[in-house]
Amino acid sequence: MTDGHGAQTQSRQPVEAVVIGCSAGGLAALRILLEAFPAGLGAAVIVVAHSAPDGPSLLPQLLAACCALPVSLAVEREFAAPGHVHIAPANYHLLIEADRSFALSVDQRVCFVRPAVDVLFCAAAEVYRERLLGVILTGANSDGAQGLQAVKAAGGLTLVQDPATAYAGAMPRAAIATGAADRVLPLEDLAGAILVHCPIARVH
């Protein structure tokens, strides 16, 4: 794997979707990350956040206030749309079908949580394969480690927040321990590393 500037990476097709997982401290991290995404982003952004200080139902509104993209809770059978941030609703696992539509599940908790990052990442990896980019942010458990491995195994790209810059370092540390992280970066550098792989349209 090159570091984002080598020929191998440059020859990749742009990603269709960016999946992001976070837990404790996730709201602040997502604000910093998403505020750097331009309105013309040509990839769908799909987020699983275990919790936020203001409650999961408020997460779309809180993120929309600092993001140039529309932000909403994912809805059953809705399509993952380029240039849109979709948030997993509380108490449902979020999956992606082959036609890029969402499916919601009340299957048992994974890593003691629902929605689980692993569930989203594994489902998205099967659909988007090498055109998927997975990102693990701050969090207090190991959810996302297995999912990041699935993204990597399917040919996708994987980024992890440097635990030293995380509110809770357990989730990024678990992801790094799998060996599936292409790059480990400080939070403030993640957006740039994501955008280099995404199609971006000029907005007039």
CATH of the domain at 89: 3.40.50.180
Q: Which of 50, 86, 93, 197 is catalytic?
A: 50
pTM: 0.91
Cα→Cα distances 56→27, 49, 98, Å: 10, 8, 27
Taking only the tens place, the pLDDT of each residue in 91-127 is 899 999 999 999 999 989 988 888 999 999 999 999 9
Residues 171 and 141: their CA atoms lie apart, in Å, by: 5
Residues 166 and 183: their CA atoms lie apart, in Å, by: 15
Residue 79 counted as domain residue: yes
pLDDT confidence of residue 3 = 44
Residue 143 has pLDDT above 90, yes or no: yes
Residue 10 counted as domain residue: no
Band of pLDDT at residue 58, cut at 50, 70 and 90: confident
pLDDT confidence of residue 160 = 98
Residue 82 has pLDDT above 50, yes or no: yes
Residue 202 counted as domain residue: no
Residue 167 counted as domain residue: yes
Residue 55 counted as domain residue: yes
Q: Which of 1-5, 105-109, 120-124, 170-174 bottoms out in mean pLDDT, i.e. has the lowest?
A: 1-5
Residue 7 counted as domain residue: no
Residue 3 counted as domain residue: no
Average of per-residue pLDDT values in the chain: 91
Q: What is the DSSP annotation of 103-164?
A: EEE-PPPBTTBSS-HHHHHHHHHHHHGGGEEEEE---SSSTTHHHHHHHHHTT-EEEEE-GG
112: left (phi over 0), alpha (psi -120 to 50) or beta: left
- Domain of 135, in residue numbers: 15-195
Could you give the number of structural domains in the chain?
A: 1
Q: Output DSSP code: residue 76.
A: T
What's the burial of 40, exposed, middle or buried (CB within 10 Å: 0-12/13-18/19+)?
A: middle
83: left (phi over 0), alpha (psi -120 to 50) or beta: left
Between CA 15 and CA 23, with CA 21 as vertex, the angle to 5 degrees is 165
Residue 88 has pLDDT above 70, yes or no: yes
**Stretch 50-71: mean pLDDT:** 79
143 labelled catalytic: yes
Residue 141 counted as domain residue: yes
Q: Which of 118, 143, 182, 197 is catalytic?
A: 143
pLDDT confidence of residue 201 = 80
Q: Residue 188 phi/psi, 5° resolution? A: -70, -15
Strand partners for 181? none
Taking only the tens place, the pLDDT of each residue in 63-77 is 999 999 999 999 999
23 labelled catalytic: yes
Q: Are 51 and 17 in contact (CB under 8 A)?
A: no
